[in-house]
Amino acid sequence: MKKKIPHFTWRAILLAIPGSILITASSTYVALHASALPWPTIFVAVLSFAVMRLFGKSDINEINVAATGMSAGAMVAGGLVFTLPGLFISGIWKVGDKQLTAQAFIKEHFPVVLLIALAGVLLGTALCWLLRKRNIEQQELPYPIGKAAASTLSAGKAGGSQALVLVIALAAAAAFTLMRDRFVLFPAMLSFSILAIPLTFSMSPMAVGIGGMIGFSSTLYWLLGAGITTAVRFVITETTLLRMIPGAVEKINEWNFTVAIALMVGSGAGTLLNFIFGSYRKRKGSFRTRTERTVRLSRPRGIGLFSLILTAAAFVITILTGMRVIPALLLMAGVFFAALMSSVITGQTGINPMEIFGIIVLLAIRALVKVDAEHAFFIAAIVAVACGYAGDMMNDYKSGHILKTNPAAQFFIELIGGFFGALTASVALLAIIYSAGGVGVQAGLPAAQAHSVNAMVQGLGNPIIFLVAALAGCALTVFFEIPAMIIGIGMMLTDYGLALPIFLGGILEYLSRSHLKKDSQQAIQMGAAGLLGGEGIMGTILAIMAMFSR
């Protein structure tokens, strides 16, 4: 380009690259171990502000551009983790008996994982640019996470006490994880019982941090899901007659798993229905004249053409994964629809069920053409990565619109951060799975969303139970605004002891919201983000070290 792009500086680039690597590594670990991935937007806004201030730079738009690049890889990690572990769950890909060395394991799977990640990055970046003006300037969707990031940067306090809280919490969580996993100074899980009911408590700073970030009500529903499964198992244990029936216990556990997955899928469908009908009502009830629209940040035509080139490149990359041409073309169309829906749902609610969009596009393509199981996971992963991008990038564009950041600068920094995020997420995903010996209960990697994708690829289990639970999940979401997806995750992850520490984080969030001033509440949120990031980064480092020491 002949002209320099405002706010797109070497400082922002040099901060975005290592920031994206660290945030992506942390997000991969968090998503695999907790089956949840809170938005990193506020976290990176504070981190970017603090680091830039260390170098004496205070241009809020340059800081915002750096934060945009730093957060880019997080949703790449989420899209991969919420789908591709299903390949190991189903047995299509195997860690095996560790006869493969770490290098051989990576050589076998890394190229295709990277291609999937890059396809999602290119599609997500291109489609977000094409949707930016419609969603942000014309429809003025709220994007609550983007608004919060803009408010954090505008406050000017993020580089002071809040940044100090963030750094202290991050260092403490990293040290705690090192002592727990490397030096084994204390167990990772505590087991105890209350009123003869067996309970577990994961010694995880990350879990407490997640609870603090998602809020008290969400943690309460997570606890409810875990409580349902615990109660069912307790009844089974205490019912001697039931235990005497051959296969009864295993069958009930299987039904519990089916119900958990169905609640998640039904909740995702309910979220889509809420969006569709909500958008229809909004269009009927409002009208904006052309002169009322904001046009200051209209997109340059050159980037629009470049976005189409990125889409074509993503199509070629998809073919390189081994997918046939017709499914790949259908995937391009499906990604556009899914990214549009995802970007608007995120804008209206702050929620982005990316793996559900992957499932929907996968089922639609399979209804039209034959796709083998391996490529089915590839389709779901590419859609999930692109939809994750649609949520994260549109939040960034929203904060940029509020702060008057040049959108072209955000577009290019997103590509850079996404590229390094794709590299990091591909390595981290394989490193953690190899180090754990696989995915599942025995490995300590729940990957609940990947189980949902696997269920859609392999079959629905008991179809009647699945249908009833899915309808219940949809109804709870549509009519009662109850997040059935969180209840399903709680049911699925009962064995991992996450419900109680996550609920503890939720209680702390509630107390801070009820009794502390706004500045103190924000400091608590920064501390929660630090706990999450510290364990995530240290856990990934230890997993990579363990993989290459074998």
- If pLDDT is split at 50, 70 and 90, which confidence band does 299 have? very low
For residue 15, is pLDDT > 70?
yes
Q: What is the C-alpha to C-alpha distance for residues 427 and 433, in angstroms, rounded to an integer?
A: 10
Query: Which positions ≥6 away from 289 have C-beta within 8 Å?
Result: none
Q: What is the C-alpha to C-alpha distance for residues 70 and 21, in angstroms, rounded to an integer?
A: 8
In the chain, the percentage of residues whose pLDDT exceeds 70 is 86
Query: Which positions ≥6 away from 466 have C-beta within 8 Å?
Result: 258, 259, 261, 262, 460
pLDDT of residue 289: 40
Closest CA to 270 of 486, 450, 103, 123: 486
The DSSP element (H or E) to which 199 belongs, if any, is strand 197-202
342, 387 in Cβ contact below 8 A? yes
For residue 287, is pLDDT > 60?
no
Give the tokens for residue 386: 């692109």
- If pLDDT is split at 50, 70 and 90, which confidence band does 546 have? low
Q: What's the mean pLDDT in 76-80?
A: 91
- If pLDDT is split at 50, 70 and 90, which confidence band does 18 have? very high
For residue 294, is pLDDT > 60?
no
Closest CA to 383 of 350, 352, 353, 361: 361
- If pLDDT is split at 50, 70 and 90, which confidence band does 2 have? very low
What's the whole-number average pLDDT of the chain?
A: 83
For residue 392, is pLDDT > 90?
no
H helices of 142-247, in order, are 144-155, 161-177, 205-214, 216-238, 240-244
Q: What is the C-alpha to C-alpha distance for residues 4 and 2, in angstroms, rounded to an integer?
A: 7
Residue 283 vs residue 298, higher pLDDT? 283
Q: What is the C-alpha to C-alpha distance for residues 548 and 443, in angstroms, rounded to an integer?
A: 18
The domain spans of the chain are 10-193+302-455+523-548
In the chain, the percentage of residues whose pLDDT exceeds 90 is 30
Q: What is the C-alpha to C-alpha distance for residues 510 and 525, in angstroms, rounded to an integer?
A: 11
Contacts 24+ apart (CB under 8 A), 186-189: 189/497
For residue 547, is pLDDT > 70?
no
Q: What is the C-alpha to C-alpha distance for residues 26 and 535, in angstroms, rounded to an integer?
A: 8
For residue 291, is pLDDT > 90?
no
pLDDT of residue 297: 42
pLDDT of residue 1: 41
Residue 289 CB: number of other CB atoms within 10 A?
A: 6
Backbone angles phi, psi at 485, to 5 degrees: -60, -40
3-state DSSP call for residue 371? coil
Residue 333 vs residue 342, higher pLDDT? 333
Residue 346 vs residue 172, higher pLDDT? 172
| Helices and strands (H and E) in the chain: how many | 21, 2
pLDDT of residue 244: 66
Q: What is the C-alpha to C-alpha distance for residues 368 and 366, in angstroms, rounded to an integer?
A: 5
Q: In Å, how far from its chain's centre is CA 165?
A: 24
3-state DSSP call for residue 191? strand
pLDDT of residue 37: 75
Using the CB atoms, write b or e for 94-111: b if 16+ within 10 Å. ebeeeebebeebbeebbe
- DSSP β-bridge partners for residue 197: 194
Give the tokens for residue 285: 């009830």
Q: What's the mean pLDDT in 16-26?
A: 91
437, 184 in Cβ contact below 8 A? no
Lowest mean pLDDT segment, chosen from 321-325, 327-331, 491-495: 491-495
For residue 132, is pLDDT > 70?
yes
- If pLDDT is split at 50, 70 and 90, which confidence band does 301 have? low
Helix 518-548 and helix 205-214: axis angle, to 10°?
Answer: 140
Give the tokens for residue 383: 């859609």
- If pLDDT is split at 50, 70 and 90, which confidence band does 41 have? confident
For residue 238, the one-letter residue type is: E
Closest CA to 22 of 77, 59, 61: 77
Using the CB atoms, write b or e for 229-246: b if 16+ within 10 Å. bbebbeeeeeeeeeeeee
Q: What is the C-alpha to C-alpha distance for residues 28 and 196, in angstroms, rounded to an integer?
A: 36
Q: What is the C-alpha to C-alpha distance for residues 389 and 352, in angstroms, rounded to an integer?
A: 10
For residue 448, is pLDDT > 50?
yes
Q: What's the mean pLDDT in 463-492?
A: 89
Query: Which positions ≥6 away from 84 have C-beta within 8 Å?
Result: 113, 116, 377, 381, 429, 450
pLDDT of residue 496: 75
Terminal-to-terminal C-alpha distance of the chain: 48
Q: What is the C-alpha to C-alpha distance for residues 5 and 31, in angstroms, rounded to an integer?
A: 35
**What length does the chain have?**
550
Helix 205-214 and helix 216-238: axis angle, to 10°?
Answer: 120
For residue 48, is pLDDT > 50?
yes
